[in-house]
Amino acid sequence: MRAVLLCPAILAFSAPSLAADTIADQASRAYAVFAGGLSQQGFLAAEYGNKLFDGIAGNWVRLNGPDPKMGIETYGSETAKSCASPAALTLSSAGPFSMTLTTNLKGGNFSQIYTLIAGSTFGEHTDPDAYLTAIGIGADKTGPNIEQQRALLLSLANGLVQIYRPSEDVLVMTRDRGYPIVLARCPTPTPAPAPEAPASSSAPADASSSSAAQ
């Protein structure tokens, strides 16, 4: 019994230890995230969007980070539920220099357009009328400080953002003084199986022939 118990320990000492990632490995991953894996020349020559927006089309949802009160991490815990709700966002890209984000709300909707400026920096633009109407403070709303509210919200929806894509199904947008916005791709619905063809009711040829012969 003692020999059996010692075997795992012997194997642990005899097995080669896994080598830690080198600085070059870690740097390569960093460049893959923050520079799209591009060379310095490619990054500065506005080639960033080629990889960033490749295959971006589809529905995405914003992930929740750590709960602000409990501190419990909720990353992606309700992604499937959110994807089936109006919280889903539709991303599309007509080329490597821009991306459009469109809401799928039950009421009014709006779009935000991200246009490449340089490197990983994009200009974000939102149509004021559609945006303010969709969030409930359109031109028909009046009240104290309403104009200040509109100005503040528009300032948060228009400006400069950094966009990164650390993996195929995750997109990250960061702003000054803002918590990162992390979007996750919604899974593609599984297509329903094709209905089976109805069984033929005609009798086999040999059966009908023998019946006729009788």
Q: Single out the residue of 169, 190, 186, 188 nearest to residue 83, CA to CA.
A: 186
If phi over 0 gives left and psi between -120 and 50 gives alpha, with beta otherwise, what is residue 40?
alpha
Task: Give, in degrees to the nearest 5, the angle at Cα 108 between 173 and 154.
Answer: 45
Q: What is the pLDDT of residues 12-71, one digit of tens each?
A: 444 444 678 899 999 999 999 999 999 999 999 999 999 999 999 999 999 977 666 777
Domain ranges of the chain: 29-185
- For 85-102, the pLDDT digits (tens) are 999 999 999 999 999 999
pTM across the whole model: 0.76
